[in-house]
Copies of this chain bind each other. A is one copy, B any other.
Amino acid sequence: MRGEIIAIGDELTTGRILNSTSCFAAARLFAAGYKVPVLTTISDDLELISENLLQALARSDFVIVTGGLGTTSDDLTNEAVSAALARPATLYPEILRKIQAHSEHLSPRARASLEKLAWLPDGAHALHSEAKSAGYFLVHQGKPVFFLPGVPHEMRELMVEAVLPRLAVWDGKPTRRVRQRVYRVSGPGEAEINQCLADLEARDERAKIGYYPVSPEVQVSLTISAASGAEADALLADFDGEIRRRLGQDIYGLEEESLEEVVGELCRQRNLRLAVAESCSGGLIAAAVTRVPGSSAYFLGGVVAYSNLLKEKLLGVAGETLAAHGAVSAEVATEMAAGVRRASGADIALSATGIAGPDGGSEEKPVGTVYIGLAAAGGVRAELFTFNGKRGQIQEATAHRALDLLRRYLLSTQDSRPTGEKHG
């Protein structure tokens, strides 16, 4: 089935808000095997909403509309739907009852404003069983049309729990079976990876390889489209094996797997406790590590030693080292890593010190110069990196590379294949 997604809102067409809801819907639909070749974003305009809704209905098997369902004065979607599809606004008492049931703690004014959510176009069916978020669907000219709130977490919940299940029973027999795998690659650039894999794609027209730099990493996608599920699975296994063989340890994970999850899992498996000492990354390594639920099992914490004062006081970096080599040096990176490992009692520690810019660079140490340190029972070492980009990019790249350095270190202490073999 072919679908379309229409996102509504001046906040989107004027670029004030990034449209993450269409992206989420597109990803879920793609993963479920639907084709969504066109996503449209339009402003809060009655005529445009009507026009685009009718156009999408004419050329698609289903339509998903997000945004403009709220209670404020700039929410116009329902009005536009009523006009375009000739479905007058109707009060749904059951929805109103549910809304009132879970809004008892609100002020009378706030409760009154929620009543608007119970007035929907004729033929609408609420998507949330308790009406805790706006959102409904209706069948128009035999096609399902879904209306979801623009608030990302509400939209996501309804997409997964209400839209996909309804589409799945709607659509009996998809003509092609699609399989997709996304490889998260850390280290080589897009062009290098492309060269490494370019001949693979030419092998079979049912396989497609895409390259997406999402700084500081590159995502490589493998998409298989075949006549049957079994055929698709066999092709996927074949291409997947070849891609893994060629990219080796440069692949840190798959799909939505994050580097911090992979590193966390490695720490957990080996029962290692981690600490960090950050200067230029300003807390981003710790923030990444602690994004992972359950990270307290292996993450002790660390020090954001942004000033030299804290590098000395909390990490025990020697004043002489700072004076002799400067805060951005391999020597200070190693003392930071060793210092936080000692202070925290961790098994393994990462450190980062560098120049994120825009000021502070010199000819010898330009903006983007970063030393990443790693301390473990076996000793401590530091590596020099040079990152490009703006301050935020350099900070993100620092945190990413520090975690990747740790990942490769942990893999190397388990797996003794020389890294030179990684490209097969």
- Partner of A314 from the list B28, B71, B314 (CB cut-off 8 Å) is B314
User: Considering the complex of A and B, which 3 residue pairs feature the smallest CB-CB distances, nearest first?
Assistant: A15-B27, A282-B290, A283-B286
Question: How many of chain A's residues have a CB under 8 angstroms from any CB in B?
Answer: 104
A71 to chain B: closest CB distance in Å? 7
Task: List chain B residues, Cβ under 8 A from A307.
Answer: 296, 299-301, 344
Number of identical monomers bound together in the oligomeric complex: 2
List CB contacts (< 8 Å) of A287-317 with chain B: 287, 289-291, 293-296, 299-307, 309-310, 313-314
Contact B296 A300 (CB under 8 A): no
A-B contact pairs, 30 of them (CB 8 A): A14-B36, A15-B25, A15-B26, A15-B27, A16-B221, A17-B23, A18-B19, A19-B23, A22-B41, A37-B45, A37-B48, A40-B41, A72-B190, A110-B191, A151-B213, A276-B304, A282-B290, A282-B295, A283-B283, A283-B285, A283-B290, A286-B286, A290-B395, A293-B359, A294-B359, A299-B306, A301-B306, A302-B303, A302-B310, A309-B344
Contact B109 A195 (CB under 8 A): yes
CA distance A211 to B44 in the complex (A): 13
Contact B287 A287 (CB under 8 A): yes
Task: List chain B residues, Cβ under 8 A from A282.
Answer: 286-287, 289-291, 295
Q: Knowing A19-B23, A74-B210, A194-B73 touch, does A344 contact B310 (C-beta < 8 A)?
A: yes
Q: Knowing A42-B37, A71-B191, A309-B300 touch, does A221 contact B11 (C-beta < 8 A)?
A: yes
Which one of A230-238, A369-377, A385-393, A402-410 is at the interface? A385-393
Q: Knowing A37-B43, A48-B37, A191-B71 touch, does A283 contact B300 (C-beta < 8 A)?
A: no
- Given A293-B357, A296-B306, output 13 extra A-B contacts at Cβ < 8 Å: A13-B37, A16-B212, A19-B22, A37-B45, A151-B213, A278-B286, A283-B286, A287-B395, A290-B306, A293-B359, A295-B306, A301-B310, A307-B344
Interface of A: prevailing SS: mixed
List CB contacts (< 8 Å) of A308-354 with chain B: 309-310, 313-314, 343-345
CA distance A300 to B359 in the complex (A): 17
CA distance A16 to B24 in the complex (A): 8
Contact A291 B391 (CB under 8 A): yes
Would you call A219 an interface residue if the criterion is a C-beta within 8 Å of the partner chain's C-beta atoms?
yes
A93 to chain B: closest CB distance in Å? 23
Task: List chain B residues, Cβ under 8 A from A299.
Answer: 306-307
Would you call A39 an interface residue if the criterion is a C-beta within 8 Å of the partner chain's C-beta atoms?
yes
Q: Knowing A43-B37, A304-B301 touch, does A19 contact B19 (C-beta < 8 A)?
A: yes
Would you call A30 an interface residue if the criterion is a C-beta within 8 Å of the partner chain's C-beta atoms?
yes
Q: From A52, which residue of chain B is reached at the shortest CB distance?
A: B38
Q: From A18, which residue of chain B is reached at the shortest CB distance?
A: B23
Would you call A10 an interface residue if the criterion is a C-beta within 8 Å of the partner chain's C-beta atoms?
yes
Task: List chain B residues, Cβ under 8 A from A302.
Answer: 283, 303-304, 306, 310
List CB contacts (< 8 Å) of A225-275 with chain B: 275
Would you call A91 an interface residue if the criterion is a C-beta within 8 Å of the partner chain's C-beta atoms?
no
- Partner of A391 from the list B39, B41, B293, B344 (CB cut-off 8 Å) is B293
CA distance A315 to B70 in the complex (A): 46
CA distance A262 to B201 in the complex (A): 50
A402 to chain B: closest CB distance in Å? 13
Would you call A284 an interface residue if the criterion is a C-beta within 8 Å of the partner chain's C-beta atoms?
yes
